[in-house]
Each structure stands twice: as structure tokens, then as C-alpha cells.
């Protein structure tokens, strides 16, 4: 049973602190009241399982597992099972202990009066912003069961796409690992074997070609400072990830992601597709436009587009159309804006937005397939260039020596 740390005041006015076991925060407060204690502060204590969920090296729960959970929750609610009982059932039968702990915590928060979307949002490493936005939309529009089914469908589709990319990128990844390993081995262990030969050439006045000088300098640097370089790179990656978790870091990262060749277009289309799908689903289920815009802005996964949507709320609330502020942001493709503009005039915005999302998703799959096809020859070219650089750097002095002797 969960434990709650509390600070309470007795009838005599004395403050006391301690830990109490209860099924929920509300139950803990009731137990304190039975002991004639007035609770000043009651907070759930983090369990060992909760701490493990925060470990950065802990693997994430698979999307397929989460999709099954959302589907089962939708089925339970559709069959009249109360939300708290449904969460109890799912937490008890979860195959992954971490997921069981998360669902149990969500259940306790909901029992304390917290909204389901807020409870899910307290576990950002498990539930994505899109899932939380869809749950919030379902609660707002009273179509929670349908929203849960849509989340499950999206997660399964996302997992299929991920597996397709992983399968296609396996060979290029192996090439990259082997190529980098061979290159480091040649530079740090093979090139030093020729150091005496290179020294004799320099003492004889023959000199070394520029490419060999660069290769030897690189080899000496890695042999002496390779460990420091590896530690520095690891520290830089850790600091970068920590910075990108901040508000400013995410904004800068989202801005630069859109400028990456090929991949930037995919990131952009994915954000627009999520916006259109969530907004269309909300409007289809009767959620007012302004409320739908606020909710769907959280699902984009890109702060630039999120801010553009939130700014459009003010414009729309003053009587303007939705297409005008979105077009002014220049973050929505012109073809998509044209469809949104026509849909507004025909009063079919909800249906058109969902169709737009479906078409963009199809385009993303084609773009990903093309990008994966480009990666393999590029990896071969890069690795071949590195190995060729080393071979030429080693053999060129030999050719120069033979030419001078001849």
C-alpha cells in the first residue's frame, strides 16, 4: 500500500510529522482526521519503483504495450466498468512491473480528484504529449473511449513505422559501427607501426606529403588523448541532453530540427499531421473551436507550431477565420492551408483535417523510405573515404620514395 508523508496539527496546536499507509491521499487525510489531527501537508512518498522509472538509462515502455493498455481501458469503460476499477484491473495485470507501478500511481491520483490527463502527464517518460492531449480531448468532449482507441491506433502505427525504419537502418548501422571501429583501429594501432619509417624519411630530407602529416598528427593525438576525447564527448552529449530538456533548449532544438535537410521536412510534416488529427477529432466530437485549439496545440511536438496555434486562438476569438493566423505563421504548407480555407467555407473542417492528417502520414512514410535508401550509399561513401584517406596517407610516402630512387 502507498505511504504518505504528512505534517499535521493536533487539537492542542502541536505540529507532528510522520508516515501513514493509505490507499490514496484522500484516504490518508481521512485517517489523520480520525486521529484528531488536522493535516497541513500530505504527500505521497516515492517508492523504489518510482525512482527506477526516473533513471535515465532505464529503457522506455514499448509503444505496443501502451497501445494494449489504452485499448483495454477503452473496452472496460465501454462496458460500464468505473474508471478507478478499470485502472486497478490494468495495474494488477500489467506484465511490465514498471507499467503496473505507473498505473497504480495514476489510479491513486485520480482517486484524489486529479483528472486522468493530469495524472498521465505526471509520467512524461511513459505517456507522450499526444496521448495526454487526446485523453484531455476525450474528457472535454465526453468521448474518452473513442479517444483511447485512437491513441492505441496511433501508437501501433507509430510502432510499425519505427520497426520498419529499424529494419531498414540495421545494415547502415552495422556499416557505421564496423567502419568507425576499423578506422579507429587503423589510426591508433596500424599508423604508429610506420612511425619509424616516416621518421627516417624526414631525417633524410625527403619529407612527408601533407596527407601523411595530417594522418600522423591525428594518430598521435588519439593515442595520447583518446580517452579524454571519449570522456569529453560523453559529457558533451549528457550536457546537451540536459539543456534540450529545458524550455529554451527545446525551442532552439525544435527550430533547428525543421532546417535539417530531408529529415527536417519529415519532422515538420509529422507535427502538422498530429495537429490536424487531434484538432479534427475534437471538432468532430463537438468540442468548441477555441477549446480544441488550446488542447491540440500540446500535441504538435514542436514549440514553434504550438506557439503559432496558441496565437491563433486570440485571433479566432476576435472573429477572424482560423486559416488567416495559421497562414501568417508560415508553418503550415500552402497546399494544406488551401484545403483548410475551403473546408472553413464549406463547414467541413473536422472531416478535412482528419483527411489531411491521413495524407500527410502517407507522405511521411514515402519520405522515410527515400531517406533510408539514401543513408546506405552515403555511409558506404563516408566509410570508404575514411579508409582511403588512411591507406593513401600510409602508402604515398612509399610511392614518393620509390619515385625518388628511380
Note the pLDDT tens digit of each residue in 193-229.
Answer: 888 888 888 787 767 888 988 998 999 998 898 889 8
User: How many angstroms separate the CA atoms of 64 and 52, rounded?
Assistant: 21
Residue 75 pLDDT level (bands cut at 50, 70, 90)? very high
Q: Examine the pLDDT at 248 and tell me if it is beyond 70.
A: yes
Domain ranges of the chain: 3-45, 61-157, 158-406
> Is the separation of the CB atoms in 278 and 305 below 8 Å?
no
Pick from 95, 124, 140: nearest CA to 281: 140
Q: Examine the pLDDT at 310 and tell me if it is beyond 80.
A: yes
Residue 403: per-residue pLDDT: 65
The whole model's pTM is what? 0.67
Contacts of 322 (CB under 8 A, 6+ apart): 289, 293, 312, 316, 340, 344, 349
Residue 45: per-residue pLDDT: 65
Percent of the chain having pLDDT more than 90?
8
User: How many angstroms separate the CA atoms of 301 and 334, rounded?
Assistant: 21
CATH code matching the domain that covers 158-406, chosen among 1.20.81.30, 2.40.33.10, 1.10.357.10, 1.10.3720.10:
1.20.81.30
Residue 402: per-residue pLDDT: 65
The reply to whether 158-406 shares the fold of 61-157 is yes
- Count of other CB atoms within 10 angstroms of residue 242: 11
Residue range 61-157 in CATH 1.20.81.30? yes
Amino acid at each position: 500500500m502507498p505511504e504518505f508523508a504528512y505534517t499535521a496539527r493536533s487539537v492542542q496546536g502541536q505540529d507532528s510529522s510522520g508516515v501513514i499507509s493509505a490507499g490514496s491521499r484522500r484516504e490518508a487525510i481521512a485517517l489523520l482526521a480520525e486521529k484528531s489531527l488536522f493535516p497541513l501537508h500530505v504527500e505521497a512518498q516515492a517508492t523504489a519503483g518510482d525512482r527506477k522509472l526516473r533513471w535515465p538509462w532505464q529503457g522506455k515502455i514499448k509503444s505496443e504495450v501502451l497501445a494494449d493498455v489504452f485499448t483495454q481501458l477503452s473496452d472496460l469503460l465501454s462496458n460500464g466498468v468505473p474508471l478507478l476499477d478499470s485502472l486497478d484491473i490494468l495495474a494488477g495485470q500489467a506484465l511490465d512491473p514498471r507499467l503496473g507501478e505507473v498505473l497504480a500511481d495514476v489510479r491513486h491520483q485520480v482517486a484524489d480528484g486529479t483528472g486522468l490527463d493530469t495524472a498521465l502527464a505526471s509520467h512524461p517518460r511513459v505517456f507522450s504529449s499526444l496521448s495526454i492531449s487526446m485523453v484531455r480531448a476525450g474528457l472535454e468532449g465526453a468521448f474518452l473511449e473513442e479517444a483511447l482507441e485512437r491513441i492505441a491506433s496511433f501508437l501501433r502505427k507509430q510502432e510499425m513505422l519505427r520497426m520498419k525504419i529499424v529494419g531498414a537502418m540495421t545494415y547502415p548501422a552495422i556499416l557505421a559501427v564496423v567502419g568507425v571501429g576499423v578506422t579507429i583501429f587503423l589510426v591508433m594501432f596500424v599508423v604508429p607501426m610506420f612511425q619509424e619509417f616516416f621518421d627516417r624519411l624526414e631525417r633524410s630530407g625527403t619529407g612527408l606529403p601533407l596527407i601523411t602529416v595530417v594522418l600522423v598528427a591525428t594518430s598521435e593525438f588519439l593515442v595520447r588523448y583518446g580517452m579524454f576525447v571519449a570522456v569529453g564527448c560523453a559529457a558533451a552529449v549528457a550536457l546537451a541532453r540536459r539543456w534540450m530538456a529545458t524550455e529554451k533548449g527545446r525551442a532552439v532544438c525544435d527550430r533547428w530540427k525543421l532546417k535539417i535537410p530531408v529529415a527536417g521536412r519529415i519532422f515538420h510534416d509529422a507535427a502538422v499531421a498530429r495537429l490536424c488529427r487531434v484538432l479534427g477529432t475534437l471538432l468532430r466530437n463537438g468540442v468548441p473551436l477555441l477549446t480544441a485549439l488550446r488542447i491540440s496545440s500540446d500535441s504538435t511536438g514542436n514549440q514553434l507550431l504550438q506557439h503559432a496555434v496558441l496565437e491563433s486562438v486570440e485571433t479566432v476569438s476576435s472573429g477572424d477565420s482560423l486559416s488567416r493566423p495559421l497562414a501568417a505563421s508560415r508553418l503550415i504548407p500552402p497546399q494544406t492551408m488551401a484545403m483548410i480555407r475551403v473546408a472553413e467555407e464549406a463547414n467541413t473542417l473536422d472531416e478535412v483535417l482528419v483527411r489531411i492528417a491521413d495524407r500527410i502520414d502517407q507522405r511521411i512514410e514515402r519520405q522515410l523510405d527515400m531517406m533510408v535508401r539514401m543513408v546506405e550509399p552515403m555511409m558506404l561513401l563516408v566509410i570508404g573515404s575514411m579508409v582511403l584517406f588512411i591507406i593513401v596517407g600510409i602508402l604515398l610516402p612509399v610511392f614518393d620514395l620509390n619515385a625518388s630512387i628511380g
